[in-house]
């Protein structure tokens, strides 16, 4: 995304030095990695359209990838101590060739279209975030059911605990009887005797069913 | 979306709970019906058993004319017997209330006498006899109550012999209950006597305490 893009139509394609390489110092610039803004325009070969690689658009790609083999072979020869080969026609770059200038606009448009297509394809091909797996209602239902069960269990446990505590408290309250002695007096006994006499009188007046109540005559048998 | 799912889950849960509850409720209803039927069957079986027992006890043998007469008049008699059951229950409730009052009084006095270090053995004996008489009276009442209920409930038209036997049993048990009630009443004077004795003991003890304290004061 952060690709460094070259300036568009305002930039004139830079060409390599066309001077034949005669020494090492002269060779080095040819093999050096091009800057981000540099565009290599291949020399037009007779009967063919100049080809422009899209690779130099990105800074990360090595410049040598866009240079034809004879150019890149020169430094190798230099490095190995061999003779420096003169550039062939295909390896030379003409400065602002009229045909290249004429087609540069359409080429740029083509490149832009290609870039656009590529970026679109890149966007399309970009790995999308995995879509969340579709779950049915069953796990939700089960979760609710379990939650309700846990709630009920907790409530029951709390209730039981409360109940037990209350019972313990009640037991504690009732298990402390007053151990005071209350000796009876003659007056108490007199009162009790009187109450019993009254009960006896009442018992005598109790109207229970009599033998006659169940007789054949009373029942009409 | 989640809310939709939750609401759907709750709905399905409620539906499932209803579906699951239906057989449970149905089974419970069936069980209840079966239980009611079973209870009715058991009740009828017990009544038949008691009626057979009445017949064995009383050995009633009705003449044809007497049987016919009973078939015609037993229904009215059964209504009167039902009213007697109410009367008996009222008398029983009144008696039981008095018995409970006496027991409470005796228990309280006994405790006070023990605190005053007075001998309570006689009172305890009288109380035990009273309690036993009360328990016997209660049993006799329950027996009479069952007799009266059976006499009023059984099918006297179909089985007049059973009605007669149940009635005779009720008469006997009424007498037994009256005897038990009399026993309870008769046990009360013993309690009264024990209380009088205890009072004398208490008075004697308090007099000796006063004398001792007076003598001690004079000596000092």
Segment A143-197, tens digit of pLDDT: 999 999 999 989 888 888 887 777 766 666 655 555 677 888 999 999 999 998 8
How many angstroms separate the CA of residue A176 from the nearest CA in chain B? Answer: 19
pLDDT tens digit string along B61-71?
Answer: 889 999 999 99
Confidence band for B37, pLDDT divided at 50, 70 and 90: confident
CA separation (Å) from B74 to A104, B93, B134, B163, B201? 133, 29, 34, 8, 61
Determine the Cα–Cα distance for residues A160 and A87; give it in Å rounded to an integer.
Answer: 100
More confident residue, B25 or B166: B166
Which two three-digit tokens encode residue A104? 């540069």
Examine the pLDDT at A48 and tell me if it is beyond 60: no
* Averaged pLDDT score across all residues of chain A: 63
Contact A206 B188 (CB under 8 A): no
Residue pLDDT, tens place only, A9-21: 444 444 444 444 4
Å from B199 to nearest chain A CA? 6
**Residue A100: its pLDDT value, please?**
52
- Burial of residue A149 (number of CB atoms within 10 Å: 0-12, 13-18, 19+): exposed
Q: What is the pLDDT of residue A53?
A: 45
CB contact under 8 A, A190 and B74: no
Check A219 against B170: CB less than 8 A apart.
no
Average pLDDT on B87-105 reads: 92
Would the pLDDT of B142 be above 90?
Answer: yes
Nearest beta carbon to residue B188 from set A141, A188, A196: A196
Average pLDDT of chain B, as a whole number: 86
| Nearest CB to A192 within list B5, B74, B109 | B109
Q: Which residues of A touch B109 (CB under 8 A)?
A: 184, 188-189, 192
pLDDT at A62: 46
Tell me, what DSSP letter sits at residue A15? -
Q: Sort out which chain B residues have CB atoms less than 8 A from A188's CB and list them.
A: 108-109, 112
Q: What pLDDT, on a 0 to 100 scale, did the predictor assign at position A135?
A: 64
pTM of the model: 0.53
Query: Of B67, B60, B50, whose CA–CA distance to B160 is shortest?
Result: B67
Identify the band that residue B126 occupies on the pLDDT scale cut at 50, 70 and 90: very high
Are A141 and B175 a contacting pair at CB < 8 A?
Answer: no
Contact between residue B102 and residue B191 where contact means Cβ atoms under 8 Å apart? yes
Contact A221 B206 (CB under 8 A): no
pLDDT in tens, B167-176: 999 999 999 9
Count Cβ atoms below 10 Å from residue A194 Cβ, excluding itself: 11
Best mutation target among B1, B19, B105, B205 (most A Cβ atoms within 10 Å) is B105
Spatial neighbors of B173 by CB under 8 A, at least 6 apart, are B140, B143, B144, B147
Does position B124 have pLDDT exceeding 50, yes or no? yes
For residue B9, give the nearest of A13, A142, A44 by alpha carbon: A142
ipTM: 0.74
Q: Which of A148, A183, A187, A211 to mutate to test the interface with B (most CBs of B within 10 A)?
A: A183
The residue with greater pLDDT, A69 or A215, is A215
The token pair that represents B4 in the structure block = 């939709």
Q: For position B95, what pLDDT does the model report?
A: 92
pLDDT at A105 over 90: no
SS3 annotation, chain B = CHHHHHHHHHHHHHHHHHHHHHHHHHHHHHHHHHHHHHHHHHHHHHHHHHHHHHHHHHCCCCCHHHHHHHHHHHHHHHHHHHHHHHHHHHHHHHHHHHHHHHHHHHHHHHHHHHHCCCCCHHHHHHHHHHHHHHHHHHHHHHHHHHHHHHHHHCCCCCCHHHHHHHHHHHHHHHHHHHHHHHHHHHHHHHHHHHHHHHHHHHHHHHHHHHHHHHHHHHHC
CB nearest A145 (choices: B8, B13, B174): B13
Interchain pair A182, B101: CB under 8 A: no
Residue B135 has pLDDT above 60, yes or no: yes
Which of chain B's residues have a Cβ under 8 Å away from the Cβ of A206? 91, 94-95, 98, 181
- Give the nearest chain A residue to B102 (CA atoms): A196
Which residue in A189, A199, A207 is closest to B102 by CB distance? Answer: A199
Whether the pLDDT of residue B178 is over 90: the answer is: yes
Flag the least confident range among A32-41, B188-197, B207-216. A32-41
Q: Could you say which of B87, B105, B199 has the minimum Cβ distance to residue A186?
A: B199
Residue B81 tokens, joined: 């017997």
Q: Residue B84 is nearest to which of A181, A184, A213, comparing CB atoms?
A: A213
**To the nearest whole percent, how much of chain A has pLDDT over 90?**
12
pLDDT classification of B24: cutoffs 50, 70, 90: low
Local confidence band at A221 (pLDDT 50, 70, 90 cut-offs): confident
The residue of chain B with its CA nearest to that of A221 is B73
CA A66, CA B15: separation in Å to the nearest integer? 72
Higher pLDDT, B92 or A97: B92
What tokens were used for B46? 């017990």
Asked if pLDDT for residue B6 goes beyond 80, the answer is no
B188 neighbors A199 (Cβ within 8 angstroms): yes
Spell out a b/e string for A92-105, using b for 16 or more CB atoms within 10 Å of the CB, else e. bbbeebeebeebbe
């Amino acid at each position: 995304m952060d690709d460094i893009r070259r300036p568009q139509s305002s930039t004139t394609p830079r060409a390599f030095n066309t001077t034949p390489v005669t020494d090492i110092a002269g060779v080095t610039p040819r093999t050096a990695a091009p800057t981000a803004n540099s565009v290599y325009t291949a020399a037009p070969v007779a009967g063919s359209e100049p080809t422009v690689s899209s690779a130099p658009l990105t800074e990360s790609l090595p410049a040598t990838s866009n240079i034809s083999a004879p150019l890149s072979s020169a430094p190798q020869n230099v490095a190995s101590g061999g003779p420096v080969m003169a550039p062939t026609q295909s390896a030379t770059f003409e400065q602002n060739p009229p045909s290249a200038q004429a087609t540069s606009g359409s080429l740029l448009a083509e490149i832009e279209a290609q870039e656009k297509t590529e970026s679109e394809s890149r966007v399309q091909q970009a790995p999308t975030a995995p879509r969340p797996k579709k779950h049915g209602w069953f796990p939700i239902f089960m979760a609710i059911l379990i939650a309700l069960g846990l709630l009920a269990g907790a409530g029951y446990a709390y209730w039981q605990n409360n109940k037990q505590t209350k019972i313990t408290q009640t037991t504690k309250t009732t298990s402390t009887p007053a151990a005071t002695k209350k000796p009876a007096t003659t007056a108490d006994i007199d009162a009790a005797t009187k109450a019993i006499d009254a009960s006896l009188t009442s018992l005598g007046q109790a109207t229970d069913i009599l033998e006659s109540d169940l007789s054949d005559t009373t029942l009409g048998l | 979306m989640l809310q939709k799912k939750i609401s759907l889950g709750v709905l399905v849960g409620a539906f499932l709970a209803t579906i699951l509850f239906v057989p449970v409720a149905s089974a419970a209803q069936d069980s209840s019906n079966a239980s009611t039927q079973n209870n009715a069957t058991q009740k009828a079986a017990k009544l038949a058993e008691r009626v057979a027992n009445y017949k064995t006890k009383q050995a009633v043998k009705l003449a044809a004319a007497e049987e016919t007469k009973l078939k015609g008049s037993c229904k009215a008699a059964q209504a009167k017997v039902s009213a007697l059951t109410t009367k008996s229950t009222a008398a029983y409730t009144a008696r039981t209330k008095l018995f409970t009052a006496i027991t409470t009084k005796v228990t309280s006095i006994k405790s006070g006498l023990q605190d005053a270090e007075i001998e309570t053995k006689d009172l305890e004996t009288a109380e035990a006899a009273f309690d036993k008489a009360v328990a016997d009276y209660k049993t006799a009442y329950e027996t009479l109550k069952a007799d009266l209920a059976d006499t009023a409930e059984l099918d006297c038209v179909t089985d007049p012999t059973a009605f007669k036997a149940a009635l005779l049993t009720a008469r006997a048990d009424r007498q037994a209950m009256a005897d038990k009630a009399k026993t309870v009443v008769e046990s009360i004077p013993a309690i009264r006597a024990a209380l009088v004795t205890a009072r004398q003991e208490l008075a004697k003890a308090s007099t000796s305490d006063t004398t001792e304290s007076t003598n001690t004061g004079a000596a000092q």
